[in-house]
Chain A
């Protein structure tokens, strides 16, 4: 049975090291903010988790990201319950480490679809035990043979964050809208969220797309935020309609600039596609992967040290234009970005 929340949380302002030490335990059910490897990934928190040797995580997420890529790089994921197990889209689609661990039987993969995971987090956020969804009828996603957690004997009620069933089909009893699937709420132990600004009390704000981060904050028992800027709470309250996360869901706030690198934080910095391509290339070979992990995870003394290693030149290239929210100086392909003033479709045909 789900317990009611005990009392209003009081967000503590901690360092990366303190936040992970205090709140993260091996084997936790974890979820990450942002979208794929490209947008607002809480990379610094994940990086610190690995450095502190945290492991055996059950990731429940709606896709892979730089965070799951890093965890898979050191084999720290035991159960991966999601819908898209890639991470970097056009800069590295497949998570090669994940596939390697899977073929060796070191990781359990539980497949859902994107819409299904979105609905599961929505149910988790609003405190509903399950949610009906027009899941893809006829898909092997709903083939009873392919219930990986069930097959592993983990749906026995002994794991408080694993539901008794993967799904239940049901004819719509209210409107007769045909067959729908009931999906269990997603209830992570802890959510790691990277935002643009957080107030000193924990109220938080991002710019750009929302992905499913607000739902994560309500679905998870604990919430750890990193922020590009820690600002006076009073400033965020001048325009409360621009805030997405209320402070009472937040356990810890870690002010850490560039904590989302190499993913983007819209209006702060862009994603580092060349760096991500390098991550993907390293994962193709186990020797290279080990070298990469030593160089980029264990090598730097601190997150600041890592950013020093990335270098000022690259960070200047990535600095987002404050008007459009991304950088037109980073070389993403073979030619620089054209100096557009308006989208071509708008110039030629309006809205």
Chain B
């Protein structure tokens, strides 16, 4: 189907915006689109490298075309044509409003309070949305040493709201992280050494009411209750509530489950596959479109 880019663009609105069936997409596609759905059209988004970047680019091409994207290295409102592999990729800087550096992004934009949504990854998460990207085991003698904070802890605490994308396993969904890189709704108060609600620890700062809002994993989507505790909102197609609980290291609240995660629509998948990751960098496994959609594409 060697169509020109103009022909592909003209096709977008012809592709049905109805949910695809399981088997017609892969899990990372569902996750990227679940991320995209968190982005509002008036958001100022600060996203980390990897799937968060694919997600916000998808949002920018679908439900949130006017969301302003900030990339760590100094990029303000990049209008991307080709998916970046890094937050300092010239692809992310394409047609941006202005280019600066780290003092711009972390100072002028983030600490100033402009950033409404942070989108980040993590190696492990606790019951209150606190994230570990530093180490597993003893800090000085770790079993695993990861990259460390990067912008995770800054963005995750100073963006008005933050969403995380994390691989769900029992050892990654924990009652308490061994190392808290990015504090969640409960965190350490180093003045007293106590574990306390974030809003008390941050009281009096401009960032008192910021914090994690949503989590997307390979099994479900999550939100936080009034006490700041995570709960399962939806489970992905093919996954049961029991399986989600089995892959969680604490007693997960499943009383508020709304049902299955919304399946991505054919149109969303078309945009993700043909425009976001057309080079098959992030989502290398290709699933064929169903015959009725293929017919439209080949028409």
Which residues does A use to contact B, with CB under 8 Å?
34-39, 62-64, 82-86, 89-91, 93-94, 98-99, 102-103, 109, 111-119, 121-122, 133-146, 148, 151, 169, 176-180, 208-215, 264, 266-267, 270-271, 273, 320, 324-326, 328, 331-349, 351
Residues of chain A with a CB closer than 8 A to B60's CB: 344-345
Q: Is the CB of A134 within 8 A of B111?
A: yes
Tell me, yes or no, whether B40 is within 8 Å of chain A by CB.
no
Question: CA separation between A230 and B275, bound complex, in Å?
Answer: 39
Question: CA separation between A239 and B4, bound complex, in Å?
Answer: 40
Q: Is the CB of A84 within 8 A of B190?
A: no
Q: Is the CB of A340 within 8 A of B181?
A: no
Contact of B157 among A122, A136, A146, A213 (CB under 8 A): A136
Residues of chain B with a CB closer than 8 A to A337's CB: 82, 278-279
From known contacts A102-B145, A115-B106, A340-B82, infer whether A136 and B73 are also in contact, taking CB-CB under 8 Å.
Answer: no
From known contacts A178-B202, A335-B280, A343-B94, infer whether A36 and B86 are also in contact, taking CB-CB under 8 Å.
Answer: yes
Q: Is the CB of A345 within 8 A of B5?
A: no
Question: CA separation between A40 and B222, bound complex, in Å?
Answer: 39
22 A–B pairs (Cβ distance < 8 Å), ordered by A: A39-B90, A93-B147, A94-B146, A103-B145, A114-B72, A115-B158, A118-B103, A136-B156, A137-B201, A139-B157, A140-B179, A141-B181, A209-B99, A210-B100, A210-B101, A267-B90, A335-B279, A343-B80, A344-B9, A344-B81, A345-B65, A348-B61
Residues of chain A with a CB closer than 8 A to B100's CB: 209-210
B138-155: contact bitstring with A at CB < 8 Å (1 yes, 0 no)?
Answer: 011110111111111110
Q: Identify which of B16-24, B203-211, B244-252 touches chain A.
A: B203-211
Q: Is the CB of A134 within 8 A of B275?
A: no
From known contacts A94-B147, A114-B154, A134-B207, infer whether A212 and B101 are also in contact, taking CB-CB under 8 Å.
Answer: yes
Tell me, yes or no, whether B75 is within 8 Å of chain A by CB.
yes
Q: Is the CB of B204 within 8 A of A328?
A: no
The 10 closest A-B pairs by CB, nearest first: A138-B187, A178-B205, A35-B88, A349-B65, A178-B204, A333-B281, A115-B154, A138-B183, A115-B106, A84-B150
Question: CA separation between A148 and B104, bound complex, in Å?
Answer: 29
From known contacts A85-B148, A343-B95, infer whether A136 and B88 are also in contact, taking CB-CB under 8 Å.
Answer: no
**Chain A interface mostly:** loop
Chain B nearest Cβ from A323, distance in angstroms: 10
Residues of chain A with a CB closer than 8 A to B203's CB: 178
Q: Is the CB of A208 within 8 A of B148?
A: no
Q: Is the CB of A82 within 8 A of B93?
A: no
Residues of chain B with a CB closer than 8 A to A122's CB: 103, 107
Question: CA separation between A111 and B181, bound complex, in Å?
Answer: 10
Given contacts A177-B205, A339-B4, 10 further A-B contacts (CB under 8 A): A35-B72, A36-B86, A86-B150, A114-B154, A134-B205, A270-B90, A273-B85, A338-B82, A344-B271, A348-B12
Q: Which residue of chain B lies nearest to A63 when distances are taken between CB atoms in the complex? A: B150
Tell me, yes or no, whether B236 is within 8 Å of chain A by CB.
no
Tell me, yes or no, whether B240 is within 8 Å of chain A by CB.
no
B43-79: contact bitstring with A at CB < 8 Å (1 yes, 0 no)?
Answer: 0000001100000000011000110000011110101
Chain A CB within 10 Å, residue with most, of B4, B156, B204: B204
From known contacts A90-B49, A208-B99, A344-B9, infer whether A338 and B278 are also in contact, taking CB-CB under 8 Å.
Answer: yes
From known contacts A84-B149, A133-B111, A136-B153, infer whether A90 and B50 are also in contact, taking CB-CB under 8 Å.
Answer: yes
Tell me, yes or no, whether B289 is within 8 Å of chain A by CB.
no
Contact of A113 among B141, B150, B191 (CB under 8 A): B150
Question: CA separation between A330 and B140, bound complex, in Å?
Answer: 41
Q: Is the CB of A325 within 8 A of B153?
A: no
Tell me, yes or no, whether B277 is within 8 Å of chain A by CB.
yes
Q: Is the CB of B50 within 8 A of A209?
A: no
From known contacts A36-B88, A119-B107, A345-B61, infer whether A334 and B81 are also in contact, taking CB-CB under 8 Å.
Answer: no
Residues of chain B with a CB closer than 8 A to A113's CB: 149-154
Residues of chain A with a CB closer than 8 A to B145's CB: 85, 98-99, 102-103, 109
Chain B nearest Cβ from A130, distance in angstroms: 15
Question: CA separation between A285 and B132, bound complex, in Å?
Answer: 26
Question: CA separation between A210 and B105, bound complex, in Å?
Answer: 11
Question: CA separation between A325 and B90, bound complex, in Å?
Answer: 7
Residues of chain B with a CB closer than 8 A to A89's CB: 49-50, 85-87
Tell me, yes or no, whether B89 is within 8 Å of chain A by CB.
yes
Chain A CB within 10 Å, residue with most, of B81, B141, B198: B81
From known contacts A34-B88, A38-B85, A338-B82, infer whether A111 and B205 are also in contact, taking CB-CB under 8 Å.
Answer: no
Q: Is the CB of B106 within 8 A of A118?
A: yes
Residues of chain A with a CB closer than 8 A to B42's CB: none
Q: Is the CB of A139 within 8 A of B180?
A: yes
Q: Is the CB of A90 within 8 A of B281?
A: yes
Q: Is the CB of A264 within 8 A of B148?
A: no
Question: CA separation between A19 and B55, bound complex, in Å?
Answer: 44
Q: Is the CB of A349 within 8 A of B66?
A: yes
Tell me, yes or no, whether B296 is within 8 Å of chain A by CB.
no
Q: For chain B residues 87-122, which have a beta carbon within 8 Å of chain A? A: 87-91, 93-95, 99-107, 110-111
Residues of chain B with a CB closer than 8 A to A344's CB: 9, 60-61, 81, 271, 275
Residues of chain B with a CB closer than 8 A to A267's CB: 90
Chain B nearest Cβ from A64, distance in angstroms: 8
